[in-house]
Every structure is written in C-alpha cells, then in structure tokens.
Chain A
C-alpha cells in the first residue's frame, strides 16, 4: 500500500483559535449579583453543591431566555465546575435550551393520546399562528402528562386543553398581548373528571 499522506498541519503544529475553558474564576465572568445570590442560596439547600446544576440552569434560562454560553460560565463560576459540565447537563434536558429560542414557549403535545385527538394538527395550527411573530418558541413535545385534556399545549409553563385548532391563534395573540391566555381552557380550572357533568 502506498504511503499515507502525512497530515501537513502537524509538522507545523496546530494553533487553537480559542482558549480552552476550565473552571472560570468569578472575576473572569460578569455574573449579575442576583444570579449569584440565587445559586448560592440553592447551594445551601443541598448536601452537595453539584446538585444545583439543574436549578442553576433554570435560573440562567429565566434570566437570559435560554442557557447562553455566558450564562453557563457565570453559573459555572459560582458552582465551581467547568462550563462543559453544565452544558453537558443542559443539553441532556428538553426544557433547557442551549440555542437561542424565543422567551415565550409553547409546547404542543404530539404523543399517543394527544395525537389520537388531533395533536399534530394543533401543532401545525400553533406553528402557523406563530409565523412571523417575534420572541416565540413553538415546539412539538412528548407527553406532558395531561392526556385528559388532549389535545393540549403548555403555554409559558401552564397547561391548556382540550384545544381546537382555531384557538391557537387566539392563544398566541393573548400571550403576546400579555393577556390571560384561554382562561376557560386552563387545566387549573378543571374539576375532577368524575365530578364534571360533561
């Protein structure tokens, strides 16, 4: 067999374009005091500071809308772990976003029960309604634990259902206008199934 081409870059040596990221020191990140305080309070609640990784990432996401690299570094500096560790954790979970997303979040269930009751169509309706609107993140989601109100959606972390496709538009308008979203479809208000007269 002929000689393999020697990787030319090697003989000269490669130079990384960016620096590696170890545990950042607090003075190297500009961690907003309230974020630092929140995370430090959380650390006090658990026997081991590593336990706060999810709550700390939630705090980062609440502050920045998603888990920004800078936010992850800030949390990492307070927790004294590598940002890589937190990114690894964040990327494991569906609710933590390591890419930019709109700050209003709509998750439409497309799992078995919702699918049977029109979940796919509802997702399409939400997507269409969100078209061209800013600061919105619409996504299909696995079972949200509300098959009783299928087809359903979680809108800014509150559950609504059963929804008609026509209601997607209304919901998004209300959401962006800062109004109460579909008050009559809120899970909050639903009686126990056995007590309803439907």
Chain B
C-alpha cells in the first residue's frame, strides 16, 4: 500500500513513507524543523504559523514542511540562508505581540515558543511599538485560565474544540491581529475534554488553575502510569513534586487514548489527598494498627468460611487474583464476583473473549462502520467518544447508535435507533434477524424506531427516504467494530447470545479490523474476569473445578453466586460474611434499599476502600486502598491490552500495597499464596492465566501488550457451544419485531400517567466531583430528563422540582426537557450523592410517576 521513498534532507538520505509529511520524515531523520500550529493529532495540517518553511529544490517559494507530503527523490534544505531568514522572520513576527513575561509565566522552562525563539529566532527584536493588551489572565473555564496577550494564534485549542471534541464552544473571535480565543458571550468553556487544550497550547496562554504557580519545570519529575478512573485506561504522566501529584498530562498511546485525556483523569487527582481518604486500617472504633486490623479481618473471614462472598471492583489484576485465591483457596468459597449486576456465564464469556472476535481500539480508526449499542461512550468510556468521532471525521466511518438515551454521538450518526430502557435485547433481536437473512432487510425490523440524524425533533420515528437502516449500514461495510455496553447483559444472557449471533452473521471474526469491543461498567472489568473474579470461572476463565485445592476436599460447589445472589444470600443468611474490594454497592449497584438490607444483615463486613463512603460506614474492618498514582500492578484494557500502573507518588498515611495486605491475610488464614512482592504477584497471575503466560514487565513496558497478539492466546479455553445462535432470540417471545415505524417505543407508555424509567451513569456522578474541589462545579444534581410532549402533559417545565416515584420509593429531581428524548420514557442519573437513581432500580423494568413537589 504505502510505498517507501527516499529523500535528501540537508544532505542526508532519509527514508519515509509516501504521503508522510516532510516535517515528520525529517524528524525521524533527526532533523528538527520548528513548528507551532502543526499537531498531527488535530487532523490535517493548516499551515498557518509558517514556522516550518523549508526550501525544496525545484520549487521557487519556500514550502511549509508540515503540509508538504514527501516525494521520492525530493531534495530539501532546512538550514540555508533563505530558510533561516524566513524562520527568524516568523519568530520575530510572533514576538511582535507576545509579552516578555517568561519569568512569571507557568510555561517557562517547558515552552515551545521560548525554545524555538532561542534556536531559530533573530536574537533580539526590532519591534519598539506597543503590544496588544487584554485583560489577563481571565477564567476561560473554572479549570483553565486564558492569557490572551500570550496567545500566538496557532489555533490548536480551537481546532481541538472543532475537530476533536467537536463541542464547538471554543472559537476565534474578531479578525486579523484583533483575533482572540473565546466562547459565546464569554460563557465558561465546559466540556469533558477541554483540559487537553492546556497540553496543546505551545505558549503560556492556556494554563490549568490546578497547576498555576504550583511548580517549576526544574523541581518536578514526570512519572508514567495509567489512569484507572474508567475502563478507557488512558496513559498518563503524573507531574510529581515532593512525591505529590501536581498535575496529570497525557502520555500519547495511539493504541489506547490517541494522546487525549478526559477531564476526570486530568483533574481528578486532588482527591488523592482528600480528607475522606481512608489512609489507615480501621475498625468500628476508629483507626488501628495493621496487626490488629489484619487479625480482626482474618477472624471474620475464618468465621465466614465458605459462607463468605467477595466483590471486587477498582482493583489491579494482581489484587483481583489474590482476592479470589483468598476466597477459593483459603476459605473454600466460590462466591467471587466483579460485576455490579447480572453478567453472562463463563461459556458466553469465553465466546466473547475469542481473539479473532475482539477489536482493538485502533480498529475504530479504520472501521467502515461502527455500531454503538447499549452504552454512551461519553459517559462510560469518554476517550472512545473522541475515537469514534475521529473515525467519522477522518475516515468517513458510518456510525449506528442504538441506545435508550440520546447520545452526543447522534449528530454524526448514519442511523440512530432508540429503544426503551432495558429493551436493548429487542433491538438486537431485530438486528440479528435483519443481518442474518439478507432478504429480510426490506422489512427493516430493527429500525422500527430509527431516527434521521438530521431531524431530532420530538416527532419520532418516521423513517425518511434514503436513510439507511442500521442493518444496511453494518451489512454493507467491510470493517465493522461493534462497541457494546456491559449493561446489555443485565437484560439476560440471551442478549449477549444475540450480540454474538450478529457478530457471526456479520463475520466479524473473519474480517480483519472487525470485532467486538466492550465498554464494561468497571474500570478493570476485563482484567478481573481474566484473573478469576467470576463465580463460575477461575483465573484464565478456566472452569472452577480446577481451582479446588486438595485440602479443601471436593465438596466445594463449582459455581458461586453472582452479584444479586450474593445480596440475596446475605439477606437470607445463607451467606454471612462479605468482602468488598474497591466497590461501593450503596452508591453504584442497582437497588440500593436491597443492598442496604444485605449489608446490614451480614455478620461481618470487610471493606477495602480508597475513600470513606456509605459502605465503609457499615464495615467492621476497613482497609485503605492505593490510588492509581500509588499502586504498582497491571490492569487489562477492554481490548485485552495489559498495562502497568506504576507507583508515582507516595502513599499518604499508613497505607500499604494491597497485594501485600491480601497475601498477609491469606497467610493469617493459614494459606500461603507464595506472593512476596509485586513482581511475584504478577508472575503468579501470569502463570495462573494460561493466555498471559510468559508476559513480562518488559513486554508491557510503557505501551502495554495485548495478550491476543501473543502466541499464548491459543491457550484460551474453547467455548463449549461455539455454534452460532443464529439470529438468537429472533423467535423468542417478547421481542418487538413486529413494530412498525411510528409505533411507540416498545415498552414505553406514552400517554399513560407513568413513564418508563431509564438510568445512566453520568460521567460526573460520583466521588470524582465530590472530592476534587476543582471539579466540584460539575457535580450533577439529580435531574429527570423527559420529552417536550410528556412535560407538557405532566404540566412541568425545565427546572421544576419533582418527585419521581415508583412503588413508594421516591427520588427528588429537577426537570430537564430534551428534544431527543422519546415520549413515554424518562431518565435519571445513577450514582449521585443524593437522590441516586439506583434507589429506584430493582432488576425489572421500572415505571415511575412524576409529580411536582409542593411549593
């Protein structure tokens, strides 16, 4: 495809790929050409700053090397008199309006303008006139300050807003040298990705309030790690001073994050030192020393024995692996989970894990079609939202969005399907039927509720001429990536069976660059499942019988309880002891009242937690957890990439590495895990998970390694029934295959007094906005989103306070009317500090009534 070419730069032969930009080729040939506006991450070059002018033989005028593709035999000069003259002219021009306040500028010492002025500038400026003045610095957002006098109008930040996050809030205003960067009506720039502009700005014009005046380049260190605040697992670099994190910046990894971070990962670090941080072991009476806490916990676990259950959440692979060993090996209990609600069985997990069916993040870039189903990436894996936008923008990928709640990706989608909450399986069944039997395309069953992306009016559902159905989009594409939310599985195992059937029908396994990519609920879900934190599968997704240690005899049941069963078991007394590792069921799991009862019923509750929360308040023993800035361990990305979280900052208080705590606990319980260090923990894991076999720290290095790309991948167990469940569920009862365009969303109740409740986990709901002061302004108040027609019918308007009730349980919320919400449904946020929607969920479809509060 792409040909290798050879060119000559400054007398040296450099080889490059045809079509590559001259600047990049030169860089690889160790020739540095200065740039300001050029940033390949932002898309096509714009050639605006003119810093990179070079001489190309045969072309009379100097050319911008950032935008000139290399050609074979090209002869390029970057240091001739003509070029030097141009470069120093451009530097001089840039300084015409740039203040000389480097000594008090936060960018000082790591400023491209400073560096380039030194290297390529004229030395001194001949400019004696007034520079332009702006009020400075002013608040661009509560997180970012803008100093417009320093801005050199390279447009990186506004291009980010237009072309990467596509929020279009940040714009250029005015013209010529009066141009400045700003927002509409001086509103704050609030967008989940906006912090990236501070990384992009080549001068000190855009700086983070969280870092202003905190450190200087010479007294900081950079430490590379992985952000584990969500399943995206972006690569980060911590700026550390006095062993404390002062800043988080992106550490480009095209296989994971493309060099971007969301604002959660970027600004969610002050909580590391929050008052609410659990920084030492605690018993009910208060802080205790480690020995006491370990003894108490061991005693509790011993008492619980096989009636103990564990649920693991925010944990490394090694931690998860050790928790399940404590349960299975030391206590003889099979009840290990790592999911917030129902999930598929081991066999389905195995089918999903087949390497040829698994898409890599990078595959999104080249996909011809992308299906997003059952998840809004913006909220559940933000960085994928940017990735999908990139695929559409740069590669023309066709997107199908199938969700209950409108997403921000709808605008660019080729087809949109809206189903009622908990009816993803109905959509999947219809799609399976459509893609399974090409002749049925004409019936367009799956798109009964298709919306044209261009008509987001509340008058739903009339498919307009020429808009393709989702089945058409997917069937007509060569490379298809299906991004699906783990939530679908809450509707039952068949839903995942149907998804696999669709994958089969589309031949995702057989087509290079195609596959499935999950957006799980928890950050290291894949790693924990593979490390054995599943009730019916041990490390490496092996059958649990192989886990039996001889000393436990053979009376251990093979399959443990799942999340809801654990809850019920605690309530019924079947289980007595619960170990929670990095999960907070009272906030994050559906059905809060039931969990409240379950935790209260437990004889012993041992909680490993980073922060105090409602769950730790009920615990008998609380152990502190490390954050991703402190932890040493591996995690596995949803696409199978093992990445390493590296300790970058010191642990506050009396926190110990958790692998050590777990190993010691096991020891105290009389079972030696043989784990004596983090490397030995990883070695034990890699030995226990056959398809991780042989992976070393060096393999993981800075960029991680996908286990599917290694030979050991072949040792993944073969699923029992790999027979495709062709069009699974197609005939099963309750699938709304017969609905016609214009019909109400299946399961919704338009015109009745109750609405079907949908819930979603908002990006900003949770401790992140409660414990990081700079992010506090983003903390969501509960709001109920509903359609204009329902609002009219219920006589409520935006901002009204209402009670959203079902069966006696009530959540208070503010009304938010949204054009693109279907009549008959409404949405609440899960995980809010108060009025958490999880309180209304009970595992079945929920109808709610909405009433204005008195007064």
Contacts and interface: CB of A to CB of B under 8 A. Distances in A.
B168 A84 contact: yes
Q: Which residue, of B167, B188, B189, B411, has the highest number of chain A Cβ atoms within 10 A? A: B188
Contacts of A72: 184
A5 B213 contact: yes
B212 A84 contact: no
B187 interface: yes
B185 A69 contact: yes
B579 to A, nearest CB: 34
A82 interface: yes
B190 interface: yes
B188 A85 contact: no
Contacts of B216: 1, 4
Contact of A16 (B190, B214, B788): B190
Given A1-B216, A13-B142, A88 B171 contact: yes
A92 B188 CA distance: 21
Nearest to A73: B184
Nearest to A9: B209
A55 B412 CA distance: 24
A7 B169 contact: no
Interface in B123-164: 139, 141-143
B122 interface: no
A107 to B, nearest CB: 17
Interface in B203-222: 209-210, 212-216
Contact of A13 (B172, B183, B185, B773): B773
Q: Is the interface of B mostly helix, strand, loop or mixed?
A: loop
Interface in B806-828: 817-819
B173 A88 contact: yes
A69 B173 CA distance: 14
A27 interface: yes
A88 B172 contact: yes
A4 B213 contact: yes
Interface string A58-91: 0000000000010010000000111111111001
A4 B777 contact: no
A23 B168 CA distance: 9
A22 B142 contact: no
Contacts of B720: none
Interface in A1-49: 1, 4-7, 9-16, 18-23, 25-28
Given A20-B189, A84-B169, A87-B173, A14 B183 contact: no
Q: Which residue, of A15, A28, A91, has the highest number of chain B Cβ atoms within 10 A? A: A91
B213 A20 contact: no
Contacts, number: 107
B823 to A, nearest CB: 14
Interface in A84-110: 84-88, 91-93
B776 interface: yes
Contact of B774 (A13, A25, A80): A13
A19 B777 CA distance: 11
Given A18-B187, A84-B183, A85-B168, A91 B175 contact: yes
Nearest to A25: B819
A20 B185 contact: no
B191 interface: yes
B169 A91 contact: no
Nearest to A10: B209
Contacts of B186: 18
Contacts of B788: 27
A22 B188 contact: no
Contacts of B185: 21, 69, 83, 87
B775 interface: yes
B291 interface: no
Given A85-B168, A91-B173, A16 B141 contact: yes
Contacts of A14: 139, 142-143, 209, 774, 777
Contacts of B142: 13-16
A78 B173 CA distance: 22
A93 B776 CA distance: 39
Interface in B733-780: 772-777
Contacts of B188: 16, 18-20
Given A16-B141, A92-B174, 5 more contacts: A4-B216, A5-B213, A13-B775, A18-B187, A20-B188
Interface of B: 139, 141-143, 167-175, 183-191, 209-210, 212-216, 270, 411, 456, 772-777, 788, 798, 817-819
25 contacts: A4-B214, A4-B215, A6-B213, A7-B212, A10-B209, A10-B774, A16-B142, A16-B777, A18-B188, A20-B189, A22-B169, A25-B817, A69-B184, A69-B185, A72-B184, A82-B168, A82-B184, A83-B184, A84-B168, A84-B169, A84-B184, A87-B173, A87-B184, A87-B185, A88-B172
